[in-house]
Amino acid sequence: GIQVEQSPPDLILQEGANSTLRCNFSDSVNNLQWFHQNPWGQLINLFYIPSGTKQNGRLSATTVATERYSLLYISSSQTTDSGVYFCAVDHSNSGNTPLVFGKGTRLSVIA
Amino acid sequence: DSGVTQTPKHLITATGQRVTLRCSPRSGDLSVYWYQQSLDQGLQFLIQYYNGEERAKGNILERFSAQQFPDLHSELNLSSLELGDSALYFCASSVVERGGIQYFGAGTRLSVL
């Protein structure tokens, strides 16, 4: 099946710093989503981005489908950005459409 | 708020018991997905229904079953529970059968004691 690798696994930032999270995937995809799991366990949709670039406030994401990677940028980080960030893809060549999740990047933003 | 409603939020039960988790998808969404998040396995797909019919199956144990009702809500039944079934169970929904954006509920946290 498709492999999804996220890096770095852990990240500690000072409030106000910028960061880049990476997601590599091993095959072509129909769907790529970025999620933020907050400390209460909720999975919050950040981006639906199978290709191209999107921005939402301090967050932006870019997916280069031909090179099989996606990047999530967080600027001017705040303590509320803490949590785990997941990349998930649905495999183009599979008849099924479940999302395959990476192991996540755990972000801690310190005041 | 994603629009996907899961109940209950928390469930504590004993080994050997049976529980039912409920999911109401976003209005208009026909696909419902169930995922399990455990400490050792991460987030894994269990099963998908589209408009009442099973569409895809992942790593779902035989002790687990699900269905989607005519009003499109879905239930996940977990039986003969074991300690290892303790996890966060998510429901997600989407409009289309394949490839669309999936919106996740807040999850049901199951603790098997």
Q: What is the pLDDT of residue B49?
A: 95
For residue B1, what pLDDT is reported? 84
Half-sphere exposure of A5 (CA within 13 A, CB side): 7
Contact call for A43 and B98, based on CB within 8 A: no
For residue B103, the chain A residues in CB contact (below 8 A) are 45
A94 — pLDDT class (breaks 50, 70, 90): low
Q: Which residue of A has its CA nearest to B59?
A: A98
Distance CA B6, CA B108 (A): 7
pLDDT at B40: 83
Query: What DSSP line would sit under B37-65, residue for residue?
Result: EETTTEEEEEEEEETTEEEEE-S--TTEE
| A95 pLDDT more than 60 | no
The lowest-confidence range among A65-74, B52-61, B95-104 is B95-104
A24 touches chain B (CB under 8 A): no
Q: If interface means Cβ-Cβ distance under 8 Å, which residues of chain B face chain A?
A: 2, 31, 33, 35, 42-45, 48, 55-56, 58, 88, 90, 92, 97-104, 106-107, 109
Residues A7 and A10: their CA atoms lie apart, in Å, by 8
What is the arithmetic mean of pLDDT over A17-22? 98
| pLDDT at residue A91 in the model | 75
What is the rounded average pLDDT of the residues A8-29?
96
User: What is the nearest CA distance from B10 to chain A, expressed in angstroms?
Assistant: 12
Q: Please give the Cα distance from B18 to A12 (Å, whole number).
A: 41
pLDDT value for A92: 60
Number of cross-chain residue pairs from A and B with Cβ atoms under 8 Å apart: 59
Phi and psi angles of residue B97, each rounded to the nearest 5 degrees, phi first? -80, -35
What average pLDDT does this structure show over B31-54? 93
Cβ within 8 Å, pair B104-A45: yes
The dihedral formed by the CA atoms of B32, B45, A86 and B23, expressed in degrees to the nearest 10: 30
**pLDDT at residue A97 greater than cutoff 60:** yes
pLDDT of residue B41: 83
Query: Following CA atoms A28, A30, A35, A41 in sequence, which dihedral angle do they give, to the nearest 10 degrees?
Result: -100
Cβ(A90)–Cβ(A71) below 8 Å: no
Distance from CA of A95 to the nearest CA of B (A): 8
Q: Tell me: the pLDDT tens digits for B68-106?
A: 999 999 999 999 999 999 999 999 999 887 778 899 999
Q: Nearest 5°: CA angle at B60, between A30 and A32?
A: 15
Share of chain B above pLDDT 70, in %: 100
Q: Which of A86, A90, A97 sits opposite B43 (nearest CB)?
A: A86
φ, ψ of residue A100 to 5 degrees: the values are -105, 120
Whether pLDDT at A96 is above 60: no
